[in-house]
Structure 1
Amino acid sequence: MTPPPTVLLVHGAHHGAWCWEEVVDRLRTTSLRTRAIDLPLTSYADDTEAVRAAVRETALLGPVLLVAHSYAGLPVSAAGHAADRLVYVAARMPLPDESPASLTPHWNAPAFHDVVKESPDGTLTLLPAARDILYSTTPAPYADRAAARWRPMRSRVPTTPLRDPAWLSVPSAYLICAQDRTVRPESQRTCATHACTHLELPCDHSPFYSAPDELAAFLREQASLTARSHS
């Protein structure tokens, strides 16, 4: 028998594996394995290699459902070819002929550009005002806890187009966050047209806190499709 899929969770900018805690708790009631990784956030290349290594290691256990939130859509698209299925959560889903960096002004909502600070050494940090933008529909205790854990990062959105993004060859699904104040919902809807299926939720940019039940249910559905393709 094929073992059950592992849901491999990859966080976005300034976050860590901790942001998936509510979703992981909900998936524990199923036969699915879960694994949430910490990106190094030291460079896009380092983040890409971290995803590639995690997929390679996780695939030893069986099928892999690889989940990307926000910025993680880029390293996942670059390194997720060995996964069995992809899920993009308000995430970048780059086309092979476009520069991701050139799209940033149209990708992020205007308010988000004002809450990111760059230090002279190139380190990016979030200002306190980012809390209300990232977690606008999230319960306050979760928003406060997340804001206290934000990580600085040196990773940058690449200027060079991805020649062969993973979603071109790996089945994918997209979750649109309709009340997102970080990433424009219309940009997410454009990405969703490239996925095999999509779901739109009335939540902020952080559905792992603002809509964990719905997100976990969506991941269970996608994991079921992953398992079915191996049966």
Structure 2
Amino acid sequence: MKEMDCEKELGDSAPGHNKGHFVLVHGALHGAWCWYKIVDLLEKDGHMVTAIDLTSAGRHPATADSVKSFEEYNQPLMDFLAHQEKSIEQGARIVLVGHSMGGVSLSYASEAFPHLIAVAVYVCALMFRGGESLDKEREYMLPDKEIIEKLEFNKPNGSILPTSFTMPKNLMKNYFYSETESVDATLSSLLIRPFPAMGIYNMDLKTTEERYGLVPRVYIKTSRDKLFPPARQEEIIARSPPEVIHVLESDHSPFFCMAEKLHQLFVQIAIEYVK
């Protein structure tokens, strides 16, 4: 396992390298829209790119309160990969990228479709050890207590457990976009949607070394992250060491504040792993 300083290691991107298919998975509260800069840059290079809206996120018609499990929340990604499995182009061509909570989606996808995924890229994301149930690692999915106390929970009809939650827009700037231009923070404030709380309470996946363990993992650490602090990222990395660690001097949303460097990094990763 090696750690790379992206300020020093990033070279030019490689337009025309078109082997990989980038599949981008957003984190909590966000949608496919958060990748708009990355999609634009990759497509200009000639790459195939798909940004997924998970259930109740982005333009998906479902509401967060209607989602009963992480499996239901994650179904659009699994449906997409199942379709790819049936397509003419076979082989591990997919560069699967997950941001923040999107790392959980990568665990499900890696267990179900390891033969399709050339590399799983975790962008300041939850990354779990293979060979055990995600239920045992739920504590790593929850933010710090001081952040939880600031979330807005929906508990319809006096229910004990919330069915969804969101973060007040005035706090999003501090935790998600502390180094992001105000125009992108404003865009986000208009597009974020609640996250289905049952997606955390109800999940049923046991990863195996024979499937999840086959997929190479690359971690991109955000060193100025206030939502998912570097110390917590390092703890997750230590529990489940990836093949390579890259470091960006970024807040929690490098797809906004460091889009060019993140794009170049994705291209370099594809060159290395997509054969």
What band does the TM-score fall into relative to the shorter chain? 0.7 to 0.9
Match of 1:175 among 220, 228, 232: 220
Aligned residues between the structures: 225
Match of 1:118 in 2: 153
Following TM superposition, the consecutive aligned residue runs of length 4 or more in structure 1 with deviations greater than 6 angstroms are none
> Which structure 1 segments of 5+ residues have no match?
none
Query: Which stretch of structure 1 is more off in the superposition, 150-159 or 72-81?
Result: 150-159
Distance in 2, matches of 1:15 and 1:32, equals: 23
Between 122-131 and 207-216, the greater mean CA deviation after superposition:
122-131
Residue 190 of structure 1 pairs with residue 235 of structure 2: yes
Tell me how far apart the structure 2 counterparts of residues 158 and 85 of structure 1 sit (CA, whole Å). Answer: 28
SS of the aligned residue for 1:12 comes to coil
State the shift of 1:158 in Å.
4.9
**Structure 2: gaps spanning 5 or more residues:** 1-17, 57-66, 157-162
Q: 1:57 to 1:160 in 2, by over 3 A?
A: closer
Shift of 1:92: 0.5
Give per-residue Cα distances to partners, 1:63-119, cap 9 Å, x unaligned: 1110001111112101233322100001111224462322345xx245432332111
3-state secondary structure, aligned to 2:196: coil
Matched residue, 2:101: 71
SS in structure 2 of the partner of residue 157 of structure 1: helix
Closer, same or farther in 2 for the Cα pair 1:73/1:158, shift >3 Å? farther
Evaluate the alpha carbon distance shift between residue 111 and residue 137 of structure 1 in structure 2; reply closer, same or farther with a 3 A threshold: farther
- When normalised by structure 2's length, the TM-score is 0.74
Instruction: State the match for 1:157 in structure 2.
Output: 200
Matching residue of 1:134: 176
Distance 1:116 1:13 in 2: 12
Q: Which position in structure 1 is the counterpart of 2:72?
A: 46
Amino acid at match of 1:190: E
CA distance in 2 between partners of 1:200 and 1:167 (Å): 24
Do the aligned residues in 1 keep the contact of 2:55 with 2:75 (CA within 8 Å)?
Answer: no
Structure 1 vs Structure 2: percent identity of aligned residues? 24
Q: Is the 8 A contact 2:99 2:122 kept in 1?
A: yes
Q: Do the aligned residues in 2 keep the contact of 1:6 with 1:58 (CA within 8 Å)?
A: no
Alignment of 1:76-87 (within 5 A): 76-80=106-110, 81=114, 82-87=116-121
Tell me the distance in 1 between the aligned counterparts of 2:229 and 2:202: 20
CA distance in 2, matches of 1:54, 1:206: 25
Query: 1:133-187 CA distances to partner (integer Å, 9 max, x unpaired)?
Result: 1100101110111111111121432576742166521011010011111112112
Q: Give the TM-score normalised by the residue count of structure 1.
A: 0.87
2:200 aligned counterpart, secondary structure: coil
**RMSD (CA atoms):** 2.3
Task: Report the CA distance between 1:46 and its aligned residue.
Answer: 1.3
Is contact 1:112–1:130 with CA below 8 Å preserved after alignment?
A: no
Once the two structures are superposed, residues 200-227 of structure 1 have per-residue CA deviations (whole angstroms, 9 ceiling, x without a partner) of 1111100000111111111101111232
* Paired residue type of 2:167: L
**Residue 131 and residue 58 in structure 1: after superposition, are their counterparts in 2 closer, same or farther (change >3 A)?**
farther
